Amino acid sequence: MKKFFLLVLVLFFAGAVFSNSADYGGYSITGRVSGSNGTPLVGASVVIENTLLGVYTGKDGGFAINGLRSGSYVLVVSYMGYDTKNVKVDVNGGNVNMNVTLEESSLMCDEVVVSSTRANTRMPIAQSTMNKEDVKNNNTYDVPYLLEMMPSVVATSEGGTGIGNTSLRIRGTDMTRINVTVNGIPLNDAESQGVYWVDLPDFASSVDNVQVQRGVGTSTNGAGAFGATVNFQTTTLDADPYAGVDLLGGSYNTLKTTARIGSGLIDNHFTFDGRYSQIHSDGYIERGGSDHKSMFVSAAYHDEKNIVRFNAIYGEEHTAITWEGTPDFMMNVDRRYNPAGEYTNMFGVTSFYKDQKDNYWQTHYQLITSHSFSDNLTVNATFHLTDGKGYYEEYKDDKNFNQYYGLPYLVAGNDTVMYGDFIHRKWMNNAFYGSIFSLIYRQSNFELTFGGAWNRYDGDHFGRIMWAEYYPGLPKDYEWYRNNGLKTDWNTYAKMLLQINDFINVFADVQYRGIRYKIKGIDSYRKNIDRNNNWNFFNPKTGFIVNLNSSNEIYSSFGIANREPSREDIKAYRGDEILRPKPERLYDFELGYKFNCQMLAINANLYYMKYKDQLVLTGELTDVGYAVMANVPNSYRTGIELSFGIKPADWMSVELNTTLSKNIIKDYTNYANLTDNTTDWGETGLTVTEYIGKSTISFSPSVVGAGKLTVMPVKNWNLAWTTKYVSKQYIDNTQNSNRMLDSYFVNNFSTRYDIKLKGSKSIYIQGLINNVLNVKYSSNAWVYRTLFQSGEPEYVEIGYYPQATRNFLVRLGIEF
């Protein structure tokens, strides 16, 4: 494996040297892009179709693309608010100079909706964008696996198949530190700050494009970006009517059905789009199945100056509980074993509760409006409501009445009954609503965006006992706890992009964010968790890009980001001032180089992310079982992201990326729980301090890489081999090799054939073999560790999340 990544490095640096010394061709295409009134369009995109070469126009609308061989090319010229134009250019033995005139769009385009929260190619941000066609072709599993081939991304699945509870990390940071927006609207849960992709089944089937910004990125709405920002844009204007069906089936009884329909442009102003999806999978892990439904409905009005769009996104998920993982002692016996719902009846027979499931219903309502006052000034305003409710149901075997549910012990004569079996449901019922706005001003070489948001989350958490073994008189749906979280999150920001000349762009961004968060009530362990917290953050960012020529570019940026503690961090605080969670701060330094030519693209991005008071796992549990997070004064993530793409022929392409990093806590002290074995839980409230010193941050592999080889042996037939490598990861911060995930190297193969038949837009059939080499690996885990007052050896329990071995999928798509 080390040889593989050495090869990547050799290819990268050889390509970099070769790119600056080799003669790709002595010809160039130069010109100027302007609007119909003759005004130069600064920052317009000029891309040569079917190559890796593209530039944006300079201060006077001019562009130059050098190093071309003789031949015929197609220039794709685009600029927001104007119709994209394809221009055929013949380069035969000489340079070509040309002027391109773009016509203003007769209908306002949807991309203006997300432009205020995205990074464009003139901003010094480490970024990757996936267009509509790529999203469609790679949409087989949940969103984390859609993004897995991007730099620094590691995806994981509790059920092992990429369907159900899935998640991702970027640069080692988890979902609670990755800002996610849909059409500029925050998607992160306001309390946990995580994103539960399972609540939006088959969401990607309604996504037009997605951008990932690594690092602190640009200012956006919602949770603080501590590792990355992921920005989705859903269905946009499609002028032609369509209807389509996608069918996907394969191993573990996996079946996904998706039906789409669109009206096209009606009366030159109106469009309607809809989608319905059903997903079923038994999962790789035993009793780890999923049954999901989802819908997407969008209605829009467009004219030259306005957009009004209404979206409704509905998700319904029923997922078997798999979060307990496979215990370490079972990994060599039955790696698919799932202990969730296991109980023993009065006859000593072991069974599994069939309704041990997570159930959730969620609907997003979005009203999106844009108005153009002039060619230079645009305003966007969005109003949103997310309504969610759901529960997870569990069978609890032999639980103490009072310690778990606050119920009195039962006394029958001289006997006292203290333990019994229960079935309970833990509920959430919440609403998230608010508004966001932005004002965008463009003038020649200058662009200014002013925006902000006000959002509120109101969520109830409560638990109900559905059945109790020894409580026949217990009231129906007996409620043993209830609490409420009320969180208000607002921000204002301003961004400036200035093109000083044809070579230099300067970017500046400031954001002021405020959070008011109040928790009131008791939690599931009947502990009072009343909290009232206020935070205010100032987040500045700045940077520049220098275009050395049409092929070479360097960029640099610096940004500061702040993040408040999550609900669990706040709840875990029990009065010890040392462990009171403080907000985290990140100082992010980025330095990058890009090279592009006809057949070769290279990108190197150096980053140094220095944290103050980063919250990390301490190794300690509270008296009710919460994993304690504590601030560490000094920690950092630093590394280099290398991307390499080559297209030696129209029928072949190679893409490689790798991230080499160090992720360090400078001075770490671990806290281990101390147990006395005299109570039901055995908790003494005491801890043992273990000084570790310099330590690697948990779940932060030092090497992450991905590669894809694509060939098209004949027209419409595509073959692809993809590979993913993740080096070893520690499960906690003690850097102990016994608490570590081994490295893994996974390969997948896919083939796709497109058929053109009269009466249909396209018909395709796709086959996939995942994990071709049948590798047995785990992509995530948790650890519980305790020490004993008696001096016995420590007790360590690890729950692993094994991923599926070799498996198969077949996909059929028809679109009219």
d(CA 732, CA 744): 19
In a domain, 63, yes or no: yes
In a domain, 190, yes or no: no
User: Which of 105, 131, 149 is the last residue in one of the domains?
Assistant: 105
DSSP-assigned letters across all residues of 645-666: EEEEETTEEEEEEEEEEEEEEE
CA distances from 808 to 250, 255, 748, 765, 772 (A): 5, 12, 10, 14, 9
Q: Which residues of 716-731 are buried (b: 16+ CB within 10 A; e: fewer)?
A: eebebebbbbbbebbb
In a domain, 147, yes or no: no
- Give the total number of structural domains in the chain: 2
User: Which of 53, 85, 105 is the last residue in one of the domains?
Assistant: 105
DSSP-assigned letters across all residues of 736-777: -TTSEEPPEEEEEEEEEEEE--TT-SEEEEEEEEESTT----
Which residue stretches of the chain have pLDDT < 70?
Answer: 1-25, 573-579, 619-627, 677-686
CA distances from 498 to 42, 242, 503, 504 (A): 10, 41, 11, 8
Farthest CA pair distance, the chain: 105
Residue 703 buriedness (CB in 10 A; 0-12 / 13-18 / 19+): middle
At 5 the pLDDT is: 53
224, 493 contact by CB (below 8 A): no
At 21 the pLDDT is: 44
In this structure, the answer to whether residues 470 and 329 fall within a common structural domain is: yes
In this structure, the answer to whether residues 664 and 805 fall within a common structural domain is: yes
In a domain, 265, yes or no: yes
CATH value at residue 376 = 2.40.170.20
User: Which of 77, 105, 133 is the last residue in one of the domains?
Assistant: 105
In a domain, 378, yes or no: yes
How many Cα neighbours within 13 Å face the side chain of 558? 2
Q: Which domain holds residue 512?
A: 234-815
Token pair recorded at residue 584: 């985290």
In a domain, 114, yes or no: no
Tokens 């599926």 sit on residue: 804
What letter would DSSP give residue 444?
A: T
In this structure, the answer to whether residues 386 and 528 fall within a common structural domain is: yes
In this structure, the answer to whether residues 377 and 522 fall within a common structural domain is: yes
d(CA 515, CA 193): 13
In a domain, 603, yes or no: yes
In this structure, the answer to whether residues 244 and 96 fall within a common structural domain is: no
pLDDT digits (tens, 9 = 90+) for 139-193: 999 999 999 999 999 999 999 999 999 999 999 999 999 999 999 999 999 999 9
* Bridge partners for 555 per DSSP: 545, 592
Q: Which amino acid is at 113?
A: V
Tokens 């706890």 sit on residue: 481
At 690 the pLDDT is: 85
Q: State which H helix or E strand residue 724 sits in.
A: strand 717-726
d(CA 368, CA 379): 11
At 627 the pLDDT is: 64
At 120 the pLDDT is: 85
In a domain, 139, yes or no: no
CATH value at residue 71 = 2.60.40.1120
